[in-house]
Structure 1
Amino acid sequence: MKRTTPTLAASLAAAVALAGSASAEGKLNIYNWGNYTNPKLIEKFEKEYNVEVTQDEYDSNEIMLAKVREGNSGYDIVVPSDSTVPVMIDQGLLAEVKPNEMENYGNMDPRWIDVYWDEGRNYTVPWLWGTTALTVDTAVYDGELDSLSLLFEPPEELKGRINMLNDMGEVINAALRYKGYERCNSNTDELRDVTELMISAKQHWRTMDYATIEKLTSGDVDASHSYNGAAIRSRDQRPTLQYVYPKEGFTGWMDNVAVLADAPNMENAKLFMNFLMEPENAALLSNFARYANGITGSEEFMDDDIRDAPEIVLPADAPTPDFVRPCPQEVTDMYNRIWTKLKQ
């Protein structure tokens, strides 16, 4: 996997613009979350289609959006989360490539077809999906593992030993759940309550970082707000870690493959999208990143420890994952002000 720098990405975009569509043949430029792509998947695609793939990485939907909105990014493929897809469609940033008419579309799990972010799948296909909850080292804390209180009003054993995701939506939504408030909330009294909760809790947070695997496996923290796939990868190296499904609820999400409207290698991007709907290829993603995918038949090719992982298989008594739709702009503006205050 080749990771290009922003400077190289800009140069690539300029080269594509100058050289025209003929020079784009045989290339594919991907902009995706970091540490999220199986190198074997890329190698397989390159060999099968004689396409040279380059990749650059981001660590938030906001960073990706800002880059794409500038135009002429040089990227073909992006991987937005569910709540970001409607924003990109509304702003004309994505190409309507009709994956629902592609050869491998029949492999898509029916649960993931009529989704709120792309009903009928005219723009996107699944990359991976999962949940966001928390991970705790049971060798450090052996009390009840069933609540978001471990993050927001932690026991003594975990104070100063917690990592929170550096993600505005995930952190604020977790705080709203803990307080029993609705998501996309514009109630000023409730948001004030949530803000006070997070500011009070912050004194017990050691870090706010997306690098949950590194934080947990290094022993830098003993608990972390985390994605379930990251929790599996952390537990592989630190077996006393346990993923917690809090009784107050937790986020469900799906990251999706989309093609940019100004993609310089549009046909190769479509090939890649169809390629990902092959069960064996979807399994390569799951085996690497340790998340479930949205393609039926992929289970046959998945590692046993992924198929049966407690971080993947929800307990019978667990709440239904909460897929949070995009908030109205006025609510997002309020959240931005809260986040800025929290990060000060």
Structure 2
Amino acid sequence: MKRLLCATFLVAAGPALAEGELNIFNWGNYTNPDLITKFEKEYDVKVTVTDYDSNDTAMAKIEAGGHGFDMVVPTHSYMQIYINKGLLMETRPDQMENFKNMAPEWVDVDWDPGRHYSVPWQWGTTGIAVNTTAYSGDPNTSAIFMDPPEELVGKVNVVPEMQDVMSLALMYVGSEPCTTDKEALKKVRDALVAAKPKWLSMDYGMTEKLSSSDVMASVNWNGSTFRARLANPNVVYGYPKEGYPLWMDSIAVLADAKNVENAKLFQNFIMDPENAALISAFARYANGIAGSEAFMPDDMKTAPEIVVPEELKAAGKFSPACSDEAQGYYTAIWTELQK
């Protein structure tokens, strides 16, 4: 890339000339091609996006080294793990030109206080997707996968994202995410092991499978379910009344990034409301950039997957980063569930 005088000048002086490459490691089916095309044209940077399917997959790849990626998009509960392991570069988004657009509630967050490392990508909820042609009961419960009703036995998928599933399961049995209470963890372990024979699969890619009615219910994310409903109006999204995870994915620069200035350019670029709206318009999740709503599709303003019912708002919780002890219990249960 063209060597500019300094990163501060680059992000403070408006549109800048750049060239070269940028390699982004992101969740699958989560990056708007139009966003990438716009960035490439504006800065003459060739962008390559490589997909991953879980936070654990991404972290394992990055820790192994030799990956060639410049940026990654961890969920909030993994951000401090990345920082503590020295895997991220402190790029100071809070000093970039477009930082003024970040919504105040997303600035001083627990996982990146003051935003020294990361910029919001999208945020949302993890809940339950149900096809009403198979089940017309209440979708607002984790019983759909923890104790599937007869109509859904053999038709339920569980996305294999450990943190989300364990959080849902713990709240379902009356406990809290990241607990080290052995009694609660045993209750969750027993319930999950008993439920698994009633599931169809543990798989990702639910947008397409819900749309095509290959799966009739799934633990799933709200934006993915939104996209499925647009293709199949029989799909509805449930917010488990027992409790459900809130999450935010944010994009950060890796400590061993080769294209650092281009990565910083990209962080600043997506804090522009119009560009943040491109991210949301594609994957159908909210973002953390004020003013982006004006550029979003009208259907996002009233979508039931975006607008949480008042009576269920209090059930949503941001899960903290689990302690090593809690993570060990999670992993043991998860390993048994994968057998």
3-state SS of 1:251 partner: strand
Q: Deviations over 1:91-136 (max 9, x none)?
A: 1111101000000000001111111100100000000100000011
Residue equivalent to 1:339 = 334
Residue equivalent to 2:67 = 73
Among 37, 50, 69, the alignment partner of 1:43 is 37
User: Offset at 1:63?
Assistant: 1.2
Q: Deviations over 1:211-245 (max 9, x none)?
A: 11122122222111100000101101110111011
Matched, 1:140 2:134: yes
Residue equivalent to 2:23 = 29
User: Offset at 1:194?
Assistant: 0.8
Residue equivalent to 1:192 = 186
Residue equivalent to 1:312 = 306
Q: Which amino acid aligns with 1:299?
A: E
CA distance, structure 1, for counterparts of residue 101 and residue 286 of structure 2 = 15
3-state SS of 2:236 partner: strand
Identity %: 52
Q: Does the C-alpha gap of structure 1 residues 306 and 37 become closer, same or farther in structure 2, counting only changes over 3 Å?
A: same
CA distance, structure 2, for counterparts of residue 141 and residue 117 of structure 1 = 38
CA distance, structure 2, for counterparts of residue 211 and residue 42 of structure 1 = 22
What stretches of structure 2 of length at least 5 have no aligned partner?
A: 1-17
Residue equivalent to 1:5 = none
Aligned 8 A contact 2:70 2:257 in 1: yes
Residue equivalent to 2:323 = 328
What stretches of structure 1 of length at least 5 have no aligned partner?
A: 1-23
* Bigger mean CA deviation after superposition, 206-215 or 92-101: 206-215
**1:1-344 paired onto structure 2 within 5 Å:** 26-320=20-314, 321-344=316-339
Q: Which amino acid aligns with 2:224?
A: A
3-state SS of 2:128 partner: strand
Q: Which amino acid aligns with 1:275?
A: F
Residue equivalent to 2:8 = none
Aligned 8 A contact 1:247 1:319 in 2: no
What TM-score results when the alignment is normalised by the length of structure 2? Answer: 0.92
CA distance, structure 2, for counterparts of residue 245 and residue 285 of structure 1 = 23
CA distance, structure 1, for counterparts of residue 304 and residue 138 of structure 2 = 17
Residue equivalent to 1:9 = none
Root-mean-square deviation over aligned CA pairs:
1.2
3-state SS of 1:285 partner: helix
CA distance, structure 2, for counterparts of residue 264 and residue 155 of structure 1 = 51
Q: Which amino acid aligns with 1:186?
A: T
User: Offset at 1:287?
Assistant: 0.5
Aligned 8 A contact 1:162 1:224 in 2: yes
Q: Give the total of aligned pairs.
A: 321
What TM-score results when the alignment is normalised by the length of structure 1? Answer: 0.91
Aligned 8 A contact 2:128 2:140 in 1: no
Q: Which amino acid aligns with 2:121?
A: W
Q: Deviations over 1:193-218 (max 9, x none)?
A: 11110011111110111211122122
Q: Which amino acid aligns with 2:168?
A: A
* Bigger mean CA deviation after superposition, 141-150 or 153-162: 141-150
User: Offset at 1:335?
Assistant: 1.1
